[in-house]
Structure 1
């Protein structure tokens, strides 16, 4: 779970018509099911304002990699149903089920968004969708932000997200240079276990 949230307070905006919200949610569902691969540059900001950058590689279903900028000894990889956080500076590895992370909404396109997500009204040029598991608040929540773009999958481009964990730690991820449909090999999501090797990869 990236220690990362563009939350729009529900109380500060008027609710959009249900039919419009349903249509937007359906568009996001088609986007998630239509993406095969995506690569992008990312900028990650934590609650203290610290900014890290890097490259994102995403392959459906269930694979994602956050390769941080040179000199940052961190790596986040999702594959095989698990999300793994690796800190090479202290040779530490943490793993948990993808479904227990806010990022699970991106990585399992078979899930029905209408069961756990809602559209957050706001700028008509964007679609913001907040997803959370009402039965497991400890999993945190995520607000995905999409721009309407006829050239993107389902007419959308993923602009980023805001993730909030159960301790209210917020992380904001913004994406740029999004590219869809490029060939991405499965070995792009392999990683070196620092507990066995001192050389990160």
Structure 2
């Protein structure tokens, strides 16, 4: 059951990884950016957001800040799975993503939780990075993404990533308020900063 579920999630993540690699390179960034980012960051939502800021003309600092803020949820994730990491906690911390945490917490005993974390975390890490690399090759072949309408893929993927969280009323209110703030400040702020300004919605909501 666990192997089947992990395989299905890996398949879905692999498709997203392919699109990330392709769109990043086709958007004008060098191949090493998505490849190195995937190895060092390994967080799909944060990577899409950071690259979106860069391709929109934002600074690397704004891109990094956006990614870090999106990954702030990994702090409570770390506490939730701390018991399964043991002496390998520094290596394991790099594998803490939504999916590996979900698989871990779904298990009933410590041994199963440990197995679920490492099996899902390592599998997702390998699949994600291989597919991002493959995607960069596709992106170089595509070249002009605007001609194919792929410029809309970044917001579409990000929307798909956040949709499950929007079932919660408080989260939905914060997202709508943040979106309104981003739209209102876009004409006045440099590229990348409206995304950071949107985080005010989290505080107000």
Provide the TM-score with structure 2 as the length reference: 0.24
**Larger RCO, structures 1/2 (Cα 8 Å, 6+ apart):** 2
Question: Structure 1 or 2: larger helix share?
Answer: 2
Question: Structure 1 or 2: larger strand share?
Answer: 1
Provide the TM-score with structure 1 as the length reference: 0.24
